[in-house]
Structure 1
Amino acid sequence: MRKILLYVVVVIGFLSLMAVVSACEAEKEQAVVNGESSTADRSKNKGTAEVDEKVKVGFTMDTLVEERWLRDREMFRDAVKALGAEVEILAANGDDILQIAHAESLISQGVDVLVVVPHNAEATATIVKKAHMAGIKVMAYDRLVKNADIDMYVSFDNEKVGELQAAAITQLVPKGRYVYIGGAITDNNAHLFKKGVFNVLQPFIDKGDITVVFDQWTKDWTPANAKENMKAALKANNNQIDAVICANDATAGGVIEALAEQGLAGKIPVSGQDAELAGAQRIVEGTQTMTVYKPLKALTQKAAEIAVMMAKGESVEINRKVNNGKIEVPSVLLLPIAVDKTNIEETIITDGFHSREEVFRNLGE
């Protein structure tokens, strides 16, 4: 009798245990159906936007010294927030070590995607490696990261920028002695601008119509360094210079200061780019010939859209692939616009990039 009772107890206990296990399995299946998966499942589904957590974008910037980068920061932040995502932005003030530290901080915060404006195109390859080790995709914004497995590049066609600069100046000075004042040698964009410039200049050089008598990079893109370069160019050529192509408006500002000291400001065509307010003012005043306008609203909006899509694991439509020395990087490149006195009103002023009052302030209009 005792054996029978013991057998009954064992059977009842086994049946009870099976019921508990079945209930747990059913509850787990229902949770997955309702989207309430485990931590591992949530991590797996993160890329498909099947969770309600807000996407978080990390943005590490080289600098905020130049006017345009302040605009990039604000417009990018607004565009990301408008898409319902969060964004954390850090600027490194031209310090490679600090930028890597910023990237590490953003990675440790668990951002879903990392956007980088590199100070040094080579050094920031380290950032890409660190992000990928954490399972985070990386987008290069405006400037390409070299020799790294970067996931996306969003910018303007920077080679085209240089071509627009050179086309504008050669139209005015088809023959003569040229000076080229480049950007920072560490910035890949500076190399692309220069390549575009010489795409246009080379046929003139080959014919003997144009001679480049001075060609120098500008450390950190600063106007002060550009001014020193231009002073050296003027001294080496006894002021016998017919045209200057500058990589951006900041360097053009330094160049024009050097020209002004020799009484040459406004007498020698000078190019720029970025459509900075100071550059636009110099154009209407007559000391700078042209700039290249890169509508930042279009860039920041497109970059924000793509960053959020990347964070959600969605596919992105590209229009180019750009070689960064290691891979063909999937890219989205926008078209820049040449701006001079003839179209400044219908471009940067009409777009609200600068107000007419700001641009013409020094002329009292």
Structure 2
Amino acid sequence: MNGIKRGLLVGTAVVSLALTMGACGKTGGSKSDSSPSSGTSSSSNSGGGGGNQSIGLLLPDTVTARYEQFDKPLMEAKIKELCPSCTVTYDNAAGDASKQAQQVNSMITKGVKVLILDAQDAVGIKSSVQAAVDKGIKVVAYDRLAQGPVSAYVSYDNEKVGELQGQALLDALGAKANPNAKIVMINGDDADPNAAQFKAGAHKVLDGKVKIAYEQSGLWKDTVANQKVTAAITQLGKNNIAAVYSANDTMAGGIATALKGAGINVPLTGQDAELAAIQRILAGQQTATVYKAYKPEADATAEIAVDLLQGKDFTSVATNSATSGSGQQVPAKLLTAISVTKSNIKDTVIKDGMYSVGQVCTGQYAQLCKDNGIQ
């Protein structure tokens, strides 16, 4: 699942979040010569990706704010802390599944020993995962459970995330929540296995209590989500939409624009606790988001990757298990997310150091922060 200040300020502020949530960090001596939006590979130091201390990191896109701003620097920093001699070679698929498959091949050629993979297409990447494993590379599935023989998986309890989103809509609707209340659902990309789990969790809470009158995939893109909701407004009528479920904050941004353009103000969910979403919540343009702190997720992944690199047992970290779409039972670390509304912004993303008050309470949001006890 947007603008963030990285660095030690955020990294230290989130230490207390290890049992629950986390925020941003800064790499120790790592450098990236490529532009985040380019999708080109870079190494965390001049040593490159080869050798026995090499770990590859592949993330799926540059549209979702979290990957470049949180996940990458956090994992690089934790790996360097655990293994100062390790190198981290990074690349981003920029939303292109075929490019990510090529990037896996590149990691194999460079000789990485462990590959951390957040799959753009969890099904389509299966053969690439197999190819990596055939070369002796251990693959850790990050955030999304890729198919194929992965060694471990780290993410959040994604069905529970969907339940939190659905419950946030019901809570916001209050007495207006009834079997005739028409809900628009904009789900994530079907190529992402998490999207199906978010959807299942939301349906578990919403079905029978409201009417899902329109449901489409927004492909994790704000532009697509905007188009889908615009179509829903045309189909259902602006006065017949009680609330909108958005699977993440990026899409919620496009949806909020569509709703505002149509003169509609109804409950709207999200996910990822992006800065823009927090500000929309303050402004009453979004009801809730789901805070899945990046530091504990990134830290656990780094720990497992280093353990695999060093031939150590990682089951003290991966205490759960998950079943991939290809039927494989995978040791897993599944974390618990938190629903964020206007009432707990101060006690979650700000308290944990994910954002500073100054970042949230800029310009038009300054007075809103004061009104809500944040500033």
Normalised by the size of structure 2, how large is the TM-score? 0.79
Task: Give 1:74's aligned amino acid.
Answer: P
Alpha-carbon contact 2:165-2:288 (below 8 Å) kept: yes
Q: Deviations over 1:215-252 (max 9, x none)?
A: 00113x11000000000111111111001110000111
From 203, 206, 212, the counterpart of 1:198: 203
Superposed CA deviations along residues 198-220 of structure 1, whole A, max 9, x for unmatched, are 11112xx1xxx41100000113x
Task: Report the AA paired with residue 339 of structure 1.
Answer: V
Structure 2 letter corresponding to 1:190: A
**Structure 2 alignment gaps of length 5 or more:** 1-50, 368-375
What is the match of residue 222 of structure 1?
A: 221
Higher helix share: 1
Q: Which has the larger radius of gyration?
A: 1
- 1:167 and 1:149 map into 2 onto residues whose CA distance is 35
The AA in structure 2 aligned to 1:299 is: E
Q: Which residue of 2 aligns with 1:260?
A: 260
Matches of 2:237 and 2:64, distance apart in 1: 32
Q: Which residue identity does 1:230 align to in structure 2? A: V
In 1, distance between residues paired with 2:289 and 2:127? 34
Matching of residues 337-356 of structure 1 within 5 Å: 337-356=338-357
Distance 1:319 1:215 in 2: 35
Aligned to 1:296: 294
Write out the 4+ residue segments of structure 1 that deviate beyond 4 Å after TM superposition: none
Q: Which has the higher contact order (CA 8 A, sep 6+)?
A: 2
| 3-state SS of 1:342 partner | helix
CA contact (8 A) 2:159 2:198 kept: yes
Q: Aligned equivalents of 2:287 and 2:171: distance in 1?
A: 11
Are 1:181 and 2:186 matched, yes or no? yes
Please tell me whether the aligned partners of residues 157 and 333 of structure 1 are also in contact (alpha carbons under 8 angstroms): yes
Task: State the identity %.
Answer: 37
Partner of 1:127, secondary structure, is helix
Correspondences of 1:212-291 after superposition (within 5 Å): 212-219=212-219, 221-239=220-238, 240-264=240-264, 267-291=265-289
| C-alpha displacement of 1:60 | 1.2
Match of 1:34 in 2: none
Who is 1:360 aligned against?
361
Q: How does 1:91-240 map to 2 (within 5 A)?
A: 91-146=92-147, 148-173=148-173, 174-175=177-178, 176-202=181-207, 205=208, 209-219=209-219, 221-239=220-238, 240=240
Letter in 2 for 1:100: A
Partner Cα distance (2:162, 2:61) in 1: 22
Note if contact 1:182-1:215 (Cα within 8 Å) is conserved in structure 2.
Answer: yes
C-alpha contact (below 8 Å) 1:277/1:354 kept by paired residues? yes
Q: Is the 8 A contact 1:284 1:359 kept in 2?
A: no
Structure 1 residues 94-120: Cα deviation after superposition (integer angstroms, max 9, x where no partner): 112211111111112111111101111
Alignment partner of 1:72 is 2:71 = yes
Q: What is the deviation of 1:324?
A: 1.1
Aligned partner of 1:224: which letter?
T
- TM-score, normalised to structure 1, is 0.81
Separation of aligned partners in 1, 2:288 and 2:167: 11
How many residue pairs were aligned? 304
CA offset at residue 307 of structure 1? 0.6
Equivalent residues of 2:189, 2:195 under 8 A apart = yes
Q: CA deviation at 1:321?
A: 1.6
In structure 1, the residue matched to 2:23 is none
2:329 is aligned to: 328
Deviation string, structure 1 residues 31-74 (Cα, Å, up to 9, x no partner): xxxxxxxxxxxxxxxxxxxxxx7621101111122211111111
TM superposition shift of 1:295: 0.8
